[in-house]
Chains A and B, each alone.
Chain A
Amino acid sequence: MAFEDEPSGADEGRPQLTDIPGAASAEVDSDTPVDSAAPLELAGSFGEYALSLAKKVRSGESGVLPVLGGLVLLVIVFQVQDSVFLSSGNLVNLLVQGSVFILLGMAEIWVLVLGEIDLSVGYVAGVGATITAIMSTTHGLPWWVAILAGIAATSAIGAVWGALVIVFRLPSFVVTLAGLLGMEGVLLYLVNSNGTGGTIRITDSVLNDLANGNMSTSAGWVMMIVAVAAFGSVTFLRDRHRRVSGLVAPPVTVSVIKVVVLAAAGVALVLVCNTNRGALIPVQGVPYVVPIVLGVLAIWTFMLGRTRFGRYLYAIGNNAEAARRAGISLGWNKLWAFTLTGLTAGIAGVIYASRLGSISNNIDGGTLVLYAVASAVIGGASLFGGRGKMVYALLGGLVIATIYNGMGLLGLAASYQYMVTALVLLAAVTIDSLARRGRTSGD
């Protein structure tokens, strides 16, 4: 314990105590733990921001930086090995492959934040997709009815897992392990009893286009501009609101950099997708699955970060007793989280079936769920609860899709894919654990 944070030590000009009225009357010794100097939130200028960010990374709160670095590394390796990797056609393919991992990863985040787990999302997604396929292909119902039916079913399944966990206080690991087995059975039953030889084809053009269709090139640009503008205005309005209210906001430079980086990523994405990647007939445009994934990401991020419900999930995941004493209903909040896991798995299932153009009885839901958990964990979510963001699933899902896609390009067998994915997963948790060990232990 060092007492390095006396008010007189504000020599770097950061507004550490001066913005708290009455700070001058400090009668007691400062007792801030070592290493917590210059919180990011108090950085007034870009330089200070960069310094405190560096400090934060060193002290174990590296956020998404390691996984971003890992992703860049993987891309470089695969590009060096095979120059096709960064071609337009392959990148779009990678995005579509990754969308299912990303969506399932996001499904998993809802329960991981609580410190729970859902092992059934792979087969739940399969069951949802099968229901959608039966509704659409077998019964000829409109695509949106089919999708709603599939997603309603998976949401209900998620709610059942949640209810079992809450009412009977069962471990979610066991409940959803049973769910994994049970839903595989339900899937086989549904597909086989459809009488189409173990496969149900998706014939509806809208359903097929979800993963295989592309927006027009101009629609891609419009989408990108709207998304960046929305992010930018939310960022700047919030910063302005904080400054007007007398609070410290991130330096303008930092916010500008964030928006510019996002805009650059958006432009790159649209440029890549709008390049003609067809061999005989021109194929170009952003796949519909991109706005679907980004839309789910945006809404889920918003729910987790800006609503009471989201806040309560973090509180319950970290200290359920504290949450209970604060008057938070553990049961209802958990039930909703499990339901949202089911709902998100349902969306993933529809995309999965759309990409394959069919749903069959040999879908490997077991591997899918492991990829889902791996996506969330590689991104930085904790299996012990209280830590995780939706964007983690996006980044982790992209890492897994990159390995899957890159190793496929190199013609390496599935055996290598699994082993490399395993190594990446281990590396991710090891880096995270080592970073955390270097962190201040508080008191």
Chain B
Amino acid sequence: MSIVAEGRATGEPESAGAPLLTLRGISKHFGAVRALNHVDLDVPAGHITALVGDNGAGKSTLIKAISGIWAPTSGEISWDGTPVEIGTPKVADQLGIATMYQDLALCDNLDIVQNMFLGHEELSHRLLDETRMEIVAKQTLADLSVTTVQSVRQLVGSLSGGQRQSVAVARAVMRDARLVIMDEPTAALGVTQTALVLELIKTLGARGIAVIVISHNLNDVFEVADRIAVLYLGRLVSSGPIAEYDRQRVVELITTGRSADDPPAGTPITDTEA
């Protein structure tokens, strides 16, 4: 664990060379239920991939396979071009995959610094090094342009929804996450708060971090995402640069799994984006 990685915080997302995360033929069966059926997906670094689909389409199942909650029944996951087995959340953590569920896993009775370092506190002489942690936390928040918190010593319980998201994201960035997965990050937020979080997601992409965002809100998706992947009944029916989609097409894909001008489902994505 080290401080904010400065080297990769450069502007333009590289156009997809080797994707950071590659899923090939991922299936997950629960008994007779096929929650995921041969899903192929590429997640490039520096891009924001929106994962959309109706309830029960398999979004959460897919996320859990990537973040090590459960192993897929079959299929292959590659990380940086190397096949990996993500059997536990700890493995995901070590690879640099940070997953943020809606509850954000924050402790309301601890302040921002304490939450950001929870489980990974900096020590000096075996005691908590509060000064150092506070400096790093502040710097990380500043790097992410999170400017709305007055003090990093505020209790997280006193923060607004958007600020809480910011803290969770900053924690992931501080721990050198290379892929940040966010489950409905704007679901419970008002307009201002949503704008804050979307801005934060863009910042992550600009820093070269791969982001997967699950969202039901197509406004958010079209505002923030570079790429989109649509799940329908466990199959990945379409994916590609967001420029190739419009709202109408995405809605059709989500609700019927088909669209008039759609390439065949399950095709590995070839990135045409500049």
Contact = CB atoms under 8 A, between A and B. Distances in A.
Chains A and B are bound partners: yes
Interface of A: 1, 3, 5, 7, 16-17, 19-23, 25-33, 36-39, 41-42, 241-242, 245-248, 306-308, 311, 314-315, 317-319, 321-323, 325-328, 386-387, 440, 442-443
A318 B110 contact: yes
B195 A21 contact: no
Nearest to B190: A1
B199 interface: yes
Nearest to B197: A28
Q: Pick the most buried of A17, A25, A318, A442: most chain B CB atoms within 10 A of its CB.
A: A442
B194 to A, nearest CB: 10
B105 A28 contact: no
A208 B151 CA distance: 51
B159 A33 contact: yes
Determine chain A's interface SS by DSSP, over half rule: loop
B105 A325 contact: yes
Contact of A21 (B109, B142, B159): B142
Nearest to A321: B105
Nearest to A25: B145
Contacts of B110: 311, 314-315, 318
Contacts of B132: 245
Interface in B87-123: 89-90, 93, 103, 105-110, 114, 118-121, 123
Contacts of B148: 5, 26, 28-32
Contacts of A23: 142, 147
A242 B135 CA distance: 10
12 contacts: A30-B147, A31-B148, A31-B162, A31-B163, A241-B131, A318-B110, A319-B105, A319-B108, A322-B105, A322-B107, A327-B90, A443-B159
A311 B192 CA distance: 33
Contacts, number: 146
Given A28-B148, A28-B196, A325-B105, A245 B158 contact: no
Given A247-B131, A318-B109, A387-B109, 13 more contacts: A28-B192, A29-B148, A29-B195, A29-B196, A30-B147, A32-B163, A33-B160, A39-B154, A308-B121, A322-B107, A386-B107, A440-B158, A443-B161
A31 B160 contact: yes
A15 B104 CA distance: 29
Contact of B109 (A32, A246, A386): A386
B150 A32 contact: yes
A323 B151 CA distance: 23
Which size class do B's interface residues fall under? 35 or more
Interface string B137-150: 01101110101111
A20 B109 contact: no
Interface in B133-179: 134-135, 138-139, 141-143, 145, 147-151, 153-154, 157-163
A319 B107 CA distance: 6
Contacts of A442: 157-160
A27 B144 CA distance: 11
Given A29-B196, A42-B150, A318 B108 contact: yes
Contact of B118 (A5, A241, A326): A326
A315 B128 CA distance: 15
A319 B106 contact: yes
Q: Pick the most buried of A322, A325, A387: most chain B CB atoms within 10 A of its CB.
A: A322
A38 B150 CA distance: 8
A31 B192 contact: yes
B33 interface: no
A31 B196 contact: yes
B141 to A, nearest CB: 7
B259 interface: no
| In the complex, the 5 A-B pairs of residues with the closest C-beta atoms, listed nearest first | A326-B119, A322-B105, A41-B153, A386-B109, A39-B151
B127 interface: yes
Nearest to A316: B107
B142 to A, nearest CB: 4
B106 A322 contact: yes
Given A247-B134, A325-B89, A443 B107 contact: no
A28 B199 contact: yes
B149 A32 contact: yes
Nearest to A317: B109
A232 B149 CA distance: 31
Contact of A36 (B108, B154, B162): B154
Contacts of A30: 147-148
Contacts of B145: 22, 25-27
B60 interface: no
B151 A326 contact: no
Nearest to B121: A308
Contacts of A306: 127-128
A7 B149 CA distance: 11
Given A242-B131, A319-B107, A21 B139 contact: yes
Contacts of B128: 306-308, 311
Nearest to B138: A20
Nearest to B146: A20
Contacts of A386: 107-109
A242 B160 CA distance: 27
A315 B147 contact: no
Given A26-B148, A33-B159, A33-B160, A3 B192 contact: yes
